[in-house]
Amino acid sequence: PDLDNLKNSKIIFVVGGPGSGKGTQCERIVQKYGFTHLSTGDLLREAVQSKSERGEQLNALMKEGKLVPMEVVLDLLKENMIKNADKSKGFLIDGYPREVPQAQKFEEMIAPCSLVLYVKASDDTMTKRLLHRGQTSGRVDDNEATIKNRLQTFHNQTLPVLDLYQKQGKVAEVNSELAPDDVFGEVRNVLDKLA
Ligand code: B4P
């Protein structure tokens, strides 16, 4: 019954490479449009904080720049969507889907997405941003070796997700080479049309 509430919600997937600026744009989107923001990366890092054995396993995968098991991410998402189902105008699902099976399983279990926002930047740009953030983030994955792996994971596993949704006409792309406010200008153009 809980999941049924979600069937009519607006669901926006935010997809982009590591360091493309997904989190940065999502913050601005929440301020202006009031969607509920769920970042799978943040949810996973919270899970790691719990210091359980499960948390250790997740941390090891993230450190290698690999994807964590699909079931773990889906459970976290489902739980948090249900928590917010009554009060939410819609969901901004940030960092998901990162592989085609994640897309299929989500739509089967929860609801189809309304839109896929592709936050696009070059590998070079993403690498520079992450190395910069790595100087202060304390994240296990913001170092040169892991960034290489994260980019590879993005190319091999996540780009096919964009192909899939491109075929359904659901992808809107923004140029994330620009400064954050200018990227957000493009995001607004997209979201204002969605209404
Ligand atoms: P995430 O937490 O999603 O990490 P991310 O891809 O680096 O995105 P983030 O949102 O943090 O960075 P942003 O681009 O905003 O994932 C981490 C790991 O968790 C994955 O590698 C994986 O192991 C696991 N995981 C997550 N989701 C999963 C899933 N669905 N399935 C399986 N595993 C999953 O920003 C980066 C930096 O750029 C910031 O410092 C920011 O200030 C800067 N920046 C942003 N926009 C800019 C701009 N326009 N100009 C200049 N700088 C900018």
**Strands 115-120 and 171-175, sheet pairing:** parallel
- What is the ipTM metric for this complex? 0.88
In this prediction, residue 9 carries a pLDDT of 84
Question: In angstroms, rounded to a whole number, what is the distance separating the alpha carbons of residues 154 and 156?
Answer: 6
**Contact assessment for residue 43 and residue 49, using Cβ atoms and an 8 Å cutoff:** no
Cα angle: 171, vertex 125, 62; to 5 degrees: 80
Mean pLDDT (10-residue bins), the chain, 195 residues: 76 98 97 95 94 93 98 95 87 98 95 96 98 96 98 98 98 98 98 87
In this prediction, residue 194 carries a pLDDT of 86
Question: Ligand 1, atom 1: nearest CA belongs to which residue?
Answer: 41
Question: In angstroms, rounded to a whole number, what is the distance separating the alpha carbons of residues 34 and 48?
Answer: 28
User: What torsion, rounded to 10 degrees, do the Cα atoms 29, 151, 76, 34 define?
Assistant: 0
In this prediction, residue 5 carries a pLDDT of 74
In this prediction, residue 61 carries a pLDDT of 98
Reported as a single tens digit per residue, the pLDDT across 15-62 is 999 999 999 999 999 999 999 999 999 999 999 998 889 999 999 999
Check if 18 has its Cβ closer than 6 Å to any atom of ligand 1.
yes
Question: Ligand 1, atom 25: nearest CA belongs to which residue?
Answer: 41
What's the 22 CA to ligand 1 centre distance in angstroms? 6
Check if 26 has its Cβ closer than 6 Å to any atom of ligand 1.
no
